[in-house]
Amino acid sequence: MTKLQKLISKLEKHHKRKIDLSLDRTFNLLNKLGNPQNKLNNVITVVGTNAKASMCYSLKSILKEAGHKCNLYTSPHLLSYTERFIYDGKEISDEDLIELLQDVEKILGEDNATLFEILTCAFIKHAENFKENINIIEAGLFHQYDSTNVFKDNLMSLVGVIHSDHFQWLENKSIEGVIFEKTTKLLNSNIFVNKQHTDNIRDKIEMALEKNSSKKYYYGKDFNISKSENGFIHYQDNLGELILPQPNIIGDHQLYNISTSISACRRILKVTDDQLKIGIQNINLKGRLEEIKSGRLKEIAGNNKLFIDGGHNISASLSIANWIKSQGEKVNLIVGMMKDKEHEAFIKSFEKIVSSITLIDIPNQEGSISKEDFKKKLSNLNLNLKLANSIEESIKSLAKNEKTITLCIGSLYLAGEILSLN
């Protein structure tokens, strides 16, 4: 265990629960830190069930090309907690993060705070050193009582795909309840809403935002994107049409995510067309339909293409299923998930469109569902199910299926383990 990991384990003991929806502890710690949240300018809030990371990283890439310096706070991470802390476009070092967290821990004293609350406050405190930068802040769980919801004003809010997830934390266990938690406390500025899986969900979001005095921009009404000829894409809003190159992230759903970032950058930050074109080609987003093209696991996979994706809810499975249908190749899934997910509904998206599904335990995750229990939950589905004892074994078992696609999905924790093994 590294020095950073040891410190993280120590910080986790400041509160018995990993998640405890309240802003009281966050504001208490921020007050002790001198209320740095009130000293930051240029805040962009990003909320949603899915698409948050894609919008964050596409924003970051576009804004970098436009000459803007950015700080970026995201969660969870794939390999290291340092991934969550980006200042001036650069990931913080282990040493600097340790020093920052130790300082915050000292100021917190004996008070309670969850690990996520401590991390969020630490990010905001350090962002004081980069006051003029644009701060892109991804919400953790929902938004209303999330520790990222502490700012008095912002430049804009981006709303990603909203779908059913994390019902265990809600009194109103419905899509309306999720929408309420994610939108009710959005600040009055500018709100950009991504494409939703159904018009009904979009309509519900519109109703939820009715009393918010922000200028609102909705995919399908105020901006749009589609595939064009010769591998290009066609973007359109009332500022004009753009013919853009394909972005360097995979999947039609990513076009919708990127279009939301494009709309926000065009309208609020006056980014030029050329800057947009280059920005979307330089998005650095890991663990989302990411192809593993080299390394030890790719050698095990042989001639099979090897992809990973951290998708873990129904919204993600629907998007991934659409990508699979577009490939024209046989696809085998390797799936590991956490216990608290909608396992059957997630897997049902892949019924009849994949050749096989290999279930595994996620290494080093106590909250992972066992492959045996996972299989029991899928007994009603018509699937070619297999079990494997490790990531390596599961990939090796498919290596004989030459020139097919092996896709590892179900959790960002699984994606992180695969990257660490490779």
Domain assignment present for 306: yes
Domain assignment present for 334: yes
CA angle 174, 176, 177 (to 5 degrees): 65
CA distance linking residue 331 with residue 164, whole number of Å: 26
Amino acid found at 169: W
Q: Assess contact for 209 and 183: CB atoms under 8 A.
A: yes
Q: What pLDDT score does 21 carry? A: 79
Radius of gyration of the chain (CA): 21
Q: Are residues 324 and 260 part of one domain?
A: no
Q: What pLDDT score does 53 carry? A: 97
Domain that holds residue 386: 290-421
Q: For the chain, give the longest Cα–Cα distance.
A: 61
SS (H, E, C) 202-236: HHHHHHHCCCCCCEEEEECCCEEEEECHHHCEEEE
Nearby residues of 169 by Cβ (< 8 Å), 6 or more positions away: 19, 21, 141, 142
Q: Are residues 207 and 142 part of one domain?
A: yes
Amino acid found at 334: I
Domain assignment present for 273: yes
Domain assignment present for 220: yes
Domain assignment present for 270: yes
Q: Are residues 203 and 334 part of one domain?
A: no
Q: What pLDDT score does 12 carry? A: 93
H-helix or E-strand containing 343?
A: helix 343-348
Q: What pLDDT score does 122 carry? A: 98
CA distance linking residue 253 with residue 196, whole number of Å: 10
CA angle 69, 71, 75 (to 5 degrees): 150
Number of domains in the chain: 2
Q: Assess contact for 45 and 154: CB atoms under 8 A.
A: yes
The enclosing domain of 60 has a CATH number of 3.40.1190.10
Q: Are residues 211 and 350 part of one domain?
A: no
- Burial letters 388-410, b for 16+ CB under 10 A, else e: beebeebbebbbebeebbbbbbb
Q: Which of 247, 280, 313 corresponds to the end of one domain?
A: 280
Model pTM?
0.94
Q: What is the DSSP string of 131-182?
A: TTSEEEEE-SSSSTTSTT---S--SEEEE-B--S--GGG-SS-SHHHHHHHH
Q: Are residues 317 and 255 part of one domain?
A: no
Q: Are residues 51 and 189 part of one domain?
A: yes
Domain assignment present for 285: no
Q: What is the pLDDT along the chain (422 residues), one digit of tens a residue?
A: 799 999 999 999 998 877 777 899 999 999 999 999 999 989 999 999 999 999 999 999 999 999 999 999 999 999 999 999 999 999 999 999 999 999 999 999 999 999 999 999 999 999 999 989 999 999 998 799 999 999 999 999 999 999 866 556 556 568 898 999 999 999 999 999 999 999 999 999 999 999 999 999 999 999 999 998 788 999 999 999 999 999 999 999 999 999 999 999 999 998 999 999 999 999 999 999 999 999 999 999 999 999 999 999 999 999 999 999 999 999 999 999 999 899 999 999 999 999 999 999 999 898 999 999 999 999 999 999 999 999 999 999 998 777 899 999 999 999 999 999 99
Q: Are residues 404 and 361 part of one domain?
A: yes
CA distance linking residue 121 with residue 115, whole number of Å: 10
Domain assignment present for 87: yes
Q: Are residues 132 and 24 part of one domain?
A: yes
Q: Are residues 294 and 273 part of one domain?
A: no
Q: Are residues 393 and 248 part of one domain?
A: no
Q: What pLDDT score does 169 carry? A: 54
Burial class (CB in 10 A: 0-12, 13-18, 19+), 366: exposed
Q: Which of 262, 280, 298 corresponds to the end of one domain?
A: 280
Q: Are residues 408 and 262 part of one domain?
A: no
Q: What pLDDT score does 173 carry? A: 66
Phi/psi-derived region of residue 328, left when phi > 0, alpha when psi is between -120 and 50, beta in every other case: left
Q: What pLDDT score does 333 carry? A: 98
The enclosing domain of 315 has a CATH number of 3.90.190.20
From residue 147, alpha-carbon distances to 49, 162, 209, 255 in Å are: 16, 19, 21, 29
CA distance linking residue 227 with residue 75, whole number of Å: 30
Q: What pLDDT score does 218 carry? A: 98
Q: Which of 222, 249, 280 corresponds to the end of one domain?
A: 280
Q: Are residues 340 and 262 part of one domain?
A: no
Q: Assess contact for 82 and 91: CB atoms under 8 A.
A: yes
Q: What pLDDT score does 166 carry? A: 58
Domain assignment present for 9: yes
